C-alpha cells in the first residue's frame, strides 16, 4: 500500500509562523521563527493547524504497513503553484524498536525508519501518524542526525497528556508497533563546514529539552568530527540552561552530563529545579540550581558570535526572547519554538 499526503495548504497560524523572506536572508546554520497573532477560536488548535505554515520534507516516498491505512487528515490537498505538477508532502513508515520511561511522566521511543530518503536536521520535529487514530501528533526528535545516518533510528520523548497520540504512546504502544512520520520545522541548527563558528546557548523548559538535546548531540558530533578528521565545521562553545519541576523530570540527565564530561572545554550545563522536595543526589549537585533560569544567566552569555535557541512553554519562550531583544541581541540570533 502506498500512502501519499499532499503538502499542507499554507494558511494563517496562531502560534508561530515562518517568515519566508527572513529564512532566505539568514545563514544556513539557523532559522528565525517569529510570533504571529493568536487564533481567535476558543477551541484548542491541533498540531496540524498550529504548524500549517511550516515547511515539511517534500519528496515522493512509499510506505508499507501491516496495521492498516495511515489516516489522511482533512484539508491537506494542496496542489502547489498554478499550472505546475502537484507538490506533495509524504510520510515514511517507522517501527517502534524501543520503549522506556524517561521520567515519571515521559516515555522515550526509539523508531526504526528504514526509508533512506527520510532525513532531518537537528531541532526538527515529526508529524506522528498512528493507524486507527485520527489525530496527528507532533513530537520533536531528540536524537542526532548522525544516529539516523548510522543506524536508521530516531528517538522521541513524549509527555503524558490527554491527547490521543500521547495517550496511545503511553498506554498502547509496544515493540514493533507500526506508525508513520513526516519531518517538519524551521527550528534547527545545521551549519555547513564553511560557515562561521558560532557559540550556542540552549534554553529549555520541561519537555522543551527535546529539540535542544538533538542540537546538543549534533554539536557533539561536529566536535568529534573536527577532532578526528581535522576538518568540518568549527563548533564554538555550547551552554545548556535547562529547567524542570524537579530532578526526576530533568530528562536525559546522564546523556547531558556525559557530553559535558566528554567536552569540558566546549559544553557546559546548568540544570534548574523549581519544586524540588527530595534530596539532590551527589552526582547532580554540582550542576543543579534551585530556582528558575535568571535573566542574568542569559545576559552573561551574550556575544556577537552567539545564537540563542529557546524551547519550552509559551510564557517562557516569550519572556526570554523579549529579554534578549531588549538586550540588543539581533533578532536573527534568537531562535525559538513553542509547544503546548
Beta strand spans in the chain (E): 16-18, 33-35, 92-103, 106-112, 125-129, 137-140, 153-159, 178-184, 199-205, 238-244, 267-273, 288-290, 306-312, 334-338
What is the reported pLDDT for 21?
27
DSSP string, 68-82: -PPP--TT-----ST
- What percentage of the chain exceeds 90 in pLDDT? 71
Is the model more confident about 22 or about 158?
158
Quote the mean pLDDT of the chain.
82
Of the listed ranges 66-70, 124-128, 300-304, the one predicted with least confidence: 66-70
Annotate 247-257 with b (16+ C-beta within 10 A) or e (fewer). Answer: bbbbbbbeebb
Q: Are 139 and 213 in contact (CB under 8 A)?
A: no
- What percentage of the chain exceeds 70 in pLDDT? 77
Report whether pLDDT(10) > 60: no
DSSP state of 56: B
185's CB contacts (< 8 A; 6+ apart) are: 51, 54, 55, 123, 124, 125, 140, 211, 337
Q: Is the dihedral of CA 32, 200, 262, 209 positive or negative?
A: negative
pLDDT digits (tens, 9 = 90+) for 56-107: 876 543 444 555 544 444 333 222 333 344 445 568 999 999 999 999 999 9
Helix, strand, or coil here: 205? strand
Residues paired with 290 in a beta bridge: 273
Place of cell 558570535: 305
Report whether pLDDT(310) > 70: yes
Is the model more confident about 208 or about 68?
208
Place of cell 526528535: 141
What is the reported pLDDT for 61?
38
What is the reported pLDDT for 201?
98
Q: Are 214 and 200 in contact (CB under 8 A)?
A: no
Task: Provide the angle, in degrees to the nearest 10, between the axes of the packed helices 209-229 and 253-262.
Answer: 30
What is the reported pLDDT for 60?
42
What does the radius of gyration of the chain's CA atoms come to, in whole angstroms?
20
Is the model more confident about 56 or about 26?
56
| pTM for this model (two decimals) | 0.81
The model's confidence at residue 263, banded by pLDDT at 50, 70 and 90, is: very high
What is the reported pLDDT for 47?
85
CA distance 313 to 321: 12
Q: What average pLDDT does this structure show over 246-259?
A: 97
Q: What average pLDDT does this structure show over 254-260?
A: 98
Task: Please give the order of strands across the beta sheet that includes 238-244.
Answer: 288-290, 267-273, 238-244, 199-205, 306-312, 334-338
CA distance 130 to 169: 10
**Nearest residue to 272 via CA among 203, 183, 226:** 203
**Nearest residue to 187 via CA among 25, 29, 26, 336:** 336
What is the reported pLDDT for 324?
96
**Nearest residue to 277 via CA among 243, 240, 251, 247:** 247
Helix, strand, or coil here: 278? coil
What is the reported pLDDT for 286?
96
What is the reported pLDDT for 69?
45
What is the reported pLDDT for 46?
78
Of the listed ranges 28-37, 142-151, 179-188, 320-329, the one predicted with least confidence: 28-37
Name the maximum alpha-carbon separation found in the chain. Answer: 65
Q: Are 155 and 108 in contact (CB under 8 A)?
A: yes
Is the model more confident about 216 or about 28?
216
Q: Are 201 and 306 in contact (CB under 8 A)?
A: yes
pLDDT digits (tens, 9 = 90+) for 94-110: 999 999 999 999 999 99
What is the reported pLDDT for 140?
96
91's CB contacts (< 8 A; 6+ apart) are: 3, 5, 61, 63, 70, 127, 129, 180, 181, 182
Q: What average pLDDT does this structure show over 177-191?
A: 96
What is the reported pLDDT for 88?
54
CA distance 251 to 152: 23
Amino acid at each position: 500500500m502506498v500512502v501519499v499526503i499532499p503538502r499542507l495548504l499554507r494558511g494563517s497560524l496562531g502560534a508561530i509562523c515562518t517568515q519566508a523572506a527572513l529564512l532566505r536572508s539568514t545563514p544556513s546554520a539557523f532559522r528565525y521563527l517569529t510570533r504571529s497573532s493568536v487564533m481567535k477560536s476558543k477551541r484548542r488548535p491541533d498540531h496540524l493547524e498550529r504548524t500549517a505554515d511550516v515547511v515539511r520534507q517534500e519528496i515522493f516516498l512509499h510506505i508499507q504497513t501491516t496495521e492498516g491505512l495511515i489516516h489522511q487528515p482533512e484539508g491537506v490537498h494542496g496542489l502547489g503553484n498554478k499550472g505546475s505538477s502537484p507538490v506533495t508532502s509524504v510520510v515514511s513508515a517507522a517501527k517502534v524498536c524501543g520503549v522506556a520511561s524517561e521520567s515519571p511522566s515521559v516515555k522515550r521511543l526509539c523508531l526504526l525508519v528504514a526509508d533512506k530518503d527520510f532525513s532531518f536536521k537537528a531541532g526538527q520535529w515529526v508529524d506522528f501518524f498512528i493507524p486507527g487514530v485520527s489525530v496527528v501528533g507532533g513530537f520533536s526528535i531528540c536524537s542526532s542526525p548522525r544516529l539516523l545516518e548510522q543506524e536508521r533510528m530516531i528517538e522521541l520523548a513524549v509527555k503524558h497528556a490527554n491527547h490521543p497520540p500521547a495517550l496511545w504512546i503511553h498506554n498502547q504502544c509496544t515493540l514493533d508497533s507500526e506508525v508513520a512520520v513526516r519531518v517538519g520545522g524551521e527550528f534547527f541548527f545545521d551549519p555547513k563546514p564553511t560557515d562561521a563558528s558560532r557559540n550556542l546557548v540552549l534554553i529549555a523548559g520541561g519537555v522543551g529539552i527535546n529539540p535542544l538535546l538533538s542540537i546538543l548531540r549534533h554539536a557533539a558530533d561536529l566536535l568529534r568530527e573536527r577532532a578526528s578528521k581535522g576538518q568540518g565545521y568549527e563548533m564554538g562553545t555550547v551552554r545548556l540552561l535547562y529547567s524542570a519541576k524537579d530532578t526526576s523530570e530533568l530528562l536525559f540527565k546522564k546523556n547531558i552530563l556525559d557530553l559535558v564530561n566528554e567536552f569540558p572545554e566546549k559544553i557546559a550545563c546548568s540544570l534548574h529545579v523549581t519544586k524540588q522536595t527530595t534530596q539532590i543526589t551527589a552526582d547532580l549537585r554540582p550542576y543543579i540550581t534551585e530556582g528558575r533560569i535568571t535573566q542574568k544567566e542569559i545576559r552573561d552569555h551574550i556575544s556577537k558570535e552567539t545564537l540563542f535557541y529557546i524551547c519550552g512553554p509559551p510564557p517562557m519562550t516569550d519572556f526570554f526572547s523579549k529579554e534578549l531583544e531588549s538586550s540588543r541581541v539581533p533578532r536573527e540570533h534568537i531562535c525559538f519554538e513553542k509547544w503546548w
